[in-house]
Amino acid sequence: MCLMTWDPAFSVDDEDLDRQHMRLVQLVNSLHDAMLAGSPRHAMDRIASDLSMYARFHFRKEEDLLKLHGYPAIDAHIEEHAEFRSKLDDFAGALKAGRQALPEPFLEFMKTWLCRHLTETDAGYACHLNISRAA
Ligand SMILES: [Fe+2]
Ligand SMILES: [Fe+2]
């Protein structure tokens, strides 16, 4: 069973960003599936590393776009992205070091963070982007 399901409430009214968010949800689900299947650590490492790289790619794209459109709450947004990146790095590092790093609470953190970030923090820029693009 999926840890997370894409919800239309996650949409930020931007096809590219929605696609990137869907990919993040998919990668968190892959990590969860690998954990449930008892996949070897190298397989978990690989997915954690894909998630980390993709999150970095997405955050950079989003931050660049928000800067371009003069989004006023950009600093707090960047801080939240940094928090997620840092948690991911901790987890990936612990996996690599052979400490299993409690994957279940970690996955719960990922799920909760992503849901909240998408429905509150990312949702906060959707209206600003629409207005800025229409101007
Ligand atoms: Fe964001
Ligand atoms: Fe985002």
**What CATH number is associated with residue 60?**
1.20.120.50
* Residue 65 neighbours by CB distance under 10 Å: 16
Is residue 58 assigned to a domain?
A: yes
The answer to the question of residue 85 being in a domain is yes
Ligand closest to 14 (CA) is 2
Which residues does 112 contact at the CB level (< 8 Å), separation at least 6?
A: none
The residue with tokens 């930020």 is: 12
Range of the domain at 72: 13-134
Domain membership flag for residue 67 = yes
Ligand nearest 71 Cα, by number?
1
- Does position 102 have pLDDT exceeding 80, yes or no? no
Assess if residue 80 is contained within a domain.
yes
Q: According to the model, what pLDDT value does residue 135 have? A: 86
Q: Is 4 inside any structural domain?
A: no
- Does 135 or 115 have the greater pLDDT score? 115
- As a whole number, mean pLDDT of residues 93-113 equals 81
Total number of domains in the chain = 1
For residue 30, the CA-to-ligand 2 centroid distance in Å is: 19
Q: How far is the CA of 98 from the centre of ligand 2 (A)?
A: 30
How many whole angstroms from 40 Cα to the centroid of ligand 1?
31
